[in-house]
Amino acid sequence: MANQKERIAFESKMLNVTQLSLQAEVEAKLRAIKRLRERIERLSEPHRGSRLDNARLLQEQITSMLEVNQFVRTTLTELEQVARELVEDLAAEESV
């Protein structure tokens, strides 16, 4: 019984830590989207710097954002697994 309570406490802490990590990534993504919007706007402005350089930076940023998406997906998958384990442990605790 004590072991199960320890698992539940651990899983709850894991959910919290993973959620904080996910939140940080999502907030970073929002900032990246703002920069992306700014770069796209620069591309549509005539004679503002090198459009080719801006297009290359845009492409690099999109690639970076895809990598962040993969990280977010992995984090969500981990969060789902911990939540599933927590549900199983709480269900087992209630059945005792």
Residue range 24-79, pLDDT digits in tens:
888 988 898 898 888 888 787 776 667 788 888 889 988 988 888 888 888 889 89
Give the global pTM: 0.64
Name the residue range of residue 42's domain: 2-95
Q: For residue 68, what are the contacts with CB-CB under 8 A and spacing of at least 6?
A: 25, 28, 29, 32
Q: Provide the number of structural domains found in the chain.
A: 1
State residue 47's pLDDT score.
Answer: 67
Containing 55, the helix (H) or strand (E) segment is helix 51-95
